Amino acid sequence: MRQSIRAWRRTWGWSVAPLCAAIALGSSGVALAHHSFAMFDSAHQVKLAGTVKSFEWSNPHVYIELNATGADGSNKDYTVECANPGILDRIGWKFNMIKPGDKITVIIAPLKTGEPGGLLKQVTLPDGRVFANGAPAGKASIK
């Protein structure tokens, strides 16, 4: 038995280890790339008031679809990306705290492309409660 293990190690032991390391390193880049905030302009945050079209509590991110008046005065449908349900749950969010038809105010880091959407920094609910989006997203820099 010991001889067969030694023979296997001699034959495969050193060639399998680098392969496993390469796979681990290659897949870690994919995981890190997903969590980039590079597409959002955190330096020029925007405050929007509008009506919730939908609230999607799902992995990997929670989304709020919001019909709001943009800076140019026109009504647009904004897609607001939030943290994942686990992070939001830990800071006090609930899966049913936002409903279609709710009038809410959000502060977002808008998409750099100019499309109507952004990363949530803060939400104010109809009852006046204010919630952040968790530490990774950062704080709102406007009021």
- What b/e sequence results for 115-142 when a residue is b if at least 16 CB atoms lie within 10 Å of its CB, and e otherwise? ebbbbbbbbbeeeeeebbbbeebbebee
Assess whether pLDDT exceeds 70 at residue 131.
yes
Amino acid 24: pLDDT: 56
Amino acid 29: pLDDT: 46
For the purposes of burial, counting CB atoms within 10 Å of the CB of 97, is it exposed (0-12), middle (13-18) or buried (19 or more)? middle
Amino acid 9: pLDDT: 53
Amino acid 28: pLDDT: 46
pLDDT in tens, 58-96: 999 999 999 998 777 889 999 999 999 999 999 999 999
Reported confidence tier of residue 4, pLDDT bands at 50, 70, 90: low
Cβ contacts of 133 within 8 Å, gap of 6 or more: 82, 83, 88, 119, 120, 121, 122, 123
pLDDT in tens, 15-54: 555 554 555 555 544 444 456 889 999 999 999 999 999 9
Which tokens is 14 given?
């050193």
Assess whether pLDDT exceeds 90 at residue 127.
yes
Amino acid 70: pLDDT: 76
Cβ contacts of 92 within 8 Å, gap of 6 or more: 131
